[in-house]
Amino acid sequence: MRKETKEFIIEYDKDIDYIADLIKKLEQEVDRILNFFELKNLKKKKKIKIWTSRKAYQTHLEKYVPKYYEWMNADTFDGNINLLSIEECRKTREHSDITLEEFLENIIHEFVHSCQQEINPDSKNVEWFWEALATNLGNPFDYTIDLKFNEDQLINDFNSVPNNYEIAFTIGKYLLENYSHEDIMRYVRNPEILRKDARNIFNEVKDRVN
């Protein structure tokens, strides 16, 4: 099955009763995210694939991640926005009580990644920054967290860090409130600069937030 809008092609293999909600959410948020990244539009329509089998989605993910975790429910590794259906999300421990609004916010989170990929897809060792932007712009937490983490682990193996998304959100909230938009976009465009500055950023945020 397939739905097509101005910016997106949505594909799914079973009847899904929240497709209209998904499209409405995207239409509400697309311009805000594009504007943040100083993009007029996407290079081409973005494919959104809704996976209705967790087993199949896990197989897809294992092509791209060194280790699969049950909480993984969305990605943009192949250039598309891939989402585990809300029904399958609710079969996992981490997302058993996910609401429709939370599910829709995950789509915006992934759209943030898609926009960043349009500018520079290099996320090596700066995945924490990608998630810092995606959580703040797409599906923000209503709290920050004490920044107690292993810096090498956060840089080299983000997915294994306890409270990794909460940590990324806290760092991102600080950056967005204290750094200029020009500085943020410099890091988006030049991840090699961010890799050099990362530990200084961590120390600064720890000093100011904790």
Query: In the prediction, which pLDDT does 161 show?
Result: 96
What pTM was estimated for this model as a whole?
A: 0.96
Query: In the prediction, which pLDDT does 132 show?
Result: 98
Query: In the prediction, which pLDDT does 79 show?
Result: 95
Kindly provide the b/e burial profile for residues 24-44, where b requires at least 16 CB atoms within 10 angstroms of the residue's own CB: ebbeebbeebbebbeeeebee
**Tell me: the pLDDT tens digits for 64-99?**
999 999 999 999 999 999 999 999 999 999 999 999
pLDDT at 210 over 80: no
What gap in Å lies between CA 39 and CA 52, rounded to an integer?
Answer: 31
pLDDT at 37 over 90: yes
Query: In the prediction, which pLDDT does 166 show?
Result: 96
**Tell me: the pLDDT tens digits for 91-148?**
999 999 999 999 999 999 999 999 999 999 999 999 999 999 999 999 999 888 989 9
Task: Average the pLDDT over each of 41-45, 50-54, 79-83, 174-178 and give the range with the smallest value.
Answer: 41-45
What domains can be seen in the chain, in order of their start residue? 1-119 (3.40.30), 123-210 (no CATH)
Mean pLDDT of all residues belonging to the chain: 96
Give the pairing type, strands 74-75 and 2-4. unpaired
